[in-house]
Amino acid sequence: MFTIEHEFDATVITLVDEVASHRQEDITINAFEDCVTIEQADPDSGEVSTVTLSNAQLRDLGAALDLPEGIYQIAAAKDR
């Protein structure tokens, strides 16, 4: 299950791990104009860990999901 909310400066997606035998904590993805953050709370400490991806890293991740094992470099578009 997941939710999508549109905030003033970001789109917020929350992924709920409802089918795992050992349920993981929810993941929150915040999509801003210049980056994407991924957050997950540690159930033991209560602290939130955050990973920030640039738009280029997010593009590469999307491409990597559909590629076989290997090393790749995506050519930069001329209009960026």
Q: Tokens for 11?
A: 């789109």
pLDDT for position 73: 86
User: Could you report the per-residue pLDDT of 9-21, keeping only the tens digit for each?
Assistant: 999 999 888 876 7
For residue 1, what are the contacts with CB-CB under 8 A and spacing of at least 6?
Answer: 16, 18
pTM (2 d.p.): 0.78
Collect the ranges in the chain with pLDDT lower than 50. Answer: 79-80
pLDDT for position 31: 94
- Measuring CA to CA, which residue among 64, 7, 59, 61 is closest to residue 30? 7
